Homo-oligomer: A and B are copies of this chain.
Amino acid sequence: MKNPLLTPEIRELLEASDLPTLVEVCSEMHPRTVAEVLGDLDPAERLRVLAPLPASLRADIVSEMDLEEQAELADEASAKELASFLDEMLADDRVDFVQRLDPGVRDQVLPLLERAAREDVKRLLAQAEGTVGARMNTDFAKIPPGLTASQAIGRLRQQASRKETIYYSYVVDDADRMLGVVSLKELVLAKPETPVSDIMSTELVSVRASEDQEAAAKILNSYDLLALPVVDDQHRIVGILTYDDVADIVQAEATEDIARIGAVAAGAEDEPYLRTGVMEHVRRRMGWIVVLAFLQILTSWVIGAYEGAIGSALILAAYIPMVMATGGNIGAQSSTVLIRSIALGQVSTGDWWRVAMRELSIAGVLAIATVAVAFIKVYFFTASSQVPAGIELGHIALVVAAAIAAQTLTSAFVGGLLPLGAKAVGIDPAVVATPAITTIVDVSGLVIYFSVAVRFLGLAT
């Protein structure tokens, strides 16, 4: 139970049908707290709590619900009830909700919305996923340039209830083109009769609706702004991106990167694991699995080519996994470190030489450990029955150790540079996922291992 204190109280009021007290209690709480309490109730009960509440409070509570609970609510409520929730919601919360409705339900609900809300939803739905336009809020405060500070505050008082934020007001001309921005702090601190045009800031930071949301989040964050104006091609303000969107965008981008590092295609929406169908999970994973399965055919070719060598020194087979795994582990470390450093803007493609040198230095030190473990295992823990006739155990240990050393260096090099290479040709570095790098160094590692073994031990292939 999310809220063991309040839930029983709400349930009691519901059972006693004491609606006036229920409305009073819910009105006094933060909408988020009410949403949490509703999370503890079943979907039918939720509707009964929401029904008697004032429309704006109801919309605030629904906006605060988890995705899963919103989905359950959508399943339970009638199209008319849904429309009444949606009419009062803020534009960005509303379009998020509509986006998650089943297409059939959506088609029923949309015609029931108020005209302005309906057109707003359609406009936002038309924006491409991942762009600023799809995430922005169209409820922002705008004022004409001719007002004084106190007139502007008066204007904000009228608008305040339906705006996401009144902490920034955008000063626009008749065509909605942005002239400046003024914060509520500036309006409050200014003398009441000061013209807004004297206090507004005209050094404007803005983004286009078609821009990538991640880039916009970086701007908002680096300027520590509460909101960033979103403009169209004619520099008319069409919405704002607010501070609370930044954390959501950062979260979503990290989720996408982590999925890609695990060789999983990112989901279109940030859908919870258990609510995503098996076939959707399969769809996200199947692509890489098939590609990597085909790539693995290369490893069987390499080993097939050295079958003769394995036949004359079976012990070589025992260290195939060690060579492969060392490459996988070292490569996974290098690639994840670089993928993240690129995402955070710490490393760019121009740094490739410094990255290569650094990865080789790091791998040089790590090789001390991987080589030592391999040499000790082979030299001290091999049963004499396993040592092929005519070959010295020390030589086998040296071959395995040399292959592991080469594999450690190669894997760090490949793991470090491949993400930069992807970036250079315009692919998301995270797509060069850890499993892809592992597979590549599997192949190179086996070639190194067997060619060293054949040459050094004088085996026929």
Nearest residue (CB) in B for A217 is B247
Q: Which chain B residues lie closer than 8 Å to A303 at the CB level?
A: 317-318, 320-321
Residues of A316-341 at the interface with B, using a CB-CB cut-off of 8 Å, are: 317-322, 324-326, 328-330, 332-333, 335-341
Q: Which chain B residues lie closer than 8 Å to A373 at the CB level?
A: 290, 293-294, 296-297
Residues of A268-327 at the interface with B, using a CB-CB cut-off of 8 Å, are: 270, 272-274, 278-279, 281-282, 285-286, 288-290, 292-294, 296-297, 299-300, 303-304, 307, 310-311, 314-315, 317-322, 324-326
Q: Which chain B residues lie closer than 8 Å to A286 at the CB level?
A: 365-366, 369
B261 A336 Cβ-Cβ under 8 A = yes
Q: Which chain B residues lie closer than 8 Å to A332 at the CB level?
A: 262-263, 434-435
Query: Would you call A234 an interface residue if the criterion is a C-beta within 8 Å of the partner chain's C-beta atoms?
Result: no
Q: How many copies does the complex hold?
A: 2
Query: Would you call A344 an interface residue if the criterion is a C-beta within 8 Å of the partner chain's C-beta atoms?
Result: yes
A317 B326 Cβ-Cβ under 8 A = no
Query: Would you call A377 an interface residue if the criterion is a C-beta within 8 Å of the partner chain's C-beta atoms?
Result: yes
A377 B297 Cβ-Cβ under 8 A = yes
User: What distance in Å separates the Cβ of A255 from its nearest Cβ neighbour in chain B?
Assistant: 6
Query: Would you call A226 an interface residue if the criterion is a C-beta within 8 Å of the partner chain's C-beta atoms?
Result: yes
Nearest residue (CB) in B for A293 is B373
A362 B320 Cβ-Cβ under 8 A = no
Query: Would you call A233 an interface residue if the criterion is a C-beta within 8 Å of the partner chain's C-beta atoms?
Result: no
Query: Would you call A391 an interface residue if the criterion is a C-beta within 8 Å of the partner chain's C-beta atoms?
Result: no
Main secondary structure of the interface of A (DSSP, over half): helix
A336 B274 Cβ-Cβ under 8 A = no
User: What distance in Å separates the Cβ of A405 from its nearest Cβ neighbour in chain B?
Assistant: 13
Nearest residue (CB) in B for A249 is B247
Nearest residue (CB) in B for A243 is B243
A274 B351 Cβ-Cβ under 8 A = yes
User: What distance in Å separates the Cβ of A221 from its nearest Cβ neighbour in chain B?
Assistant: 5
**Contact-residue size bin, chain A (C-beta under 8 Å from the other chain):** 35 or more
Q: Which listed residue (B156, B258, B318) contacts A340, Cβ 8 A? A: B258
Q: Which listed residue (B264, B328, B355) contacts A435, Cβ 8 A? A: B328
Residues of A9-52 at the interface with B, using a CB-CB cut-off of 8 Å, are: 28-30, 32-33
A153 B217 Cβ-Cβ under 8 A = no
Query: Would you call A251 an interface residue if the criterion is a C-beta within 8 Å of the partner chain's C-beta atoms?
Result: yes
Query: Would you call A374 an interface residue if the criterion is a C-beta within 8 Å of the partner chain's C-beta atoms?
Result: yes
B293 A358 Cβ-Cβ under 8 A = no
Residues of A106-152 at the interface with B, using a CB-CB cut-off of 8 Å, are: none
Query: Would you call A257 an interface residue if the criterion is a C-beta within 8 Å of the partner chain's C-beta atoms?
Result: yes
Query: Would you call A410 an interface residue if the criterion is a C-beta within 8 Å of the partner chain's C-beta atoms?
Result: no
User: What distance in Å separates the Cβ of A4 from its nearest Cβ neighbour in chain B?
Assistant: 16
A314 B315 Cβ-Cβ under 8 A = no
Query: Would you call A399 an interface residue if the criterion is a C-beta within 8 Å of the partner chain's C-beta atoms?
Result: no
Q: Which chain B residues lie closer than 8 Å to A366 at the CB level?
A: 282, 285-286, 289
Stretch at the interface among A70-78, A80-88, A171-179, A181-189: A181-189
Q: Which chain B residues lie closer than 8 Å to A167 at the CB level?
A: 167, 184-185
Q: Mark A165-206, 1 if CB is under 8 A from B, else 0.
A: 011000000000000000011001100000000000001010
Q: Which chain B residues lie closer than 8 Å to A156 at the CB level?
A: 188
Nearest residue (CB) in B for A223 is B32
29 contacts between A and B (CB under 8 A): A30-B203, A30-B223, A188-B188, A221-B247, A243-B247, A250-B251, A255-B340, A261-B336, A262-B333, A262-B335, A262-B336, A263-B329, A272-B346, A274-B346, A278-B358, A279-B365, A285-B362, A289-B329, A292-B325, A293-B370, A294-B373, A296-B321, A300-B319, A303-B318, A304-B318, A307-B386, A311-B311, A321-B446, A324-B325
**Could you list 6 further interchain pairs (A-B, Cβ under 8 angstroms) beyond the known A273-B337, A274-B346, A289-B370?**
A264-B337, A270-B344, A282-B366, A300-B321, A328-B438, A438-B438
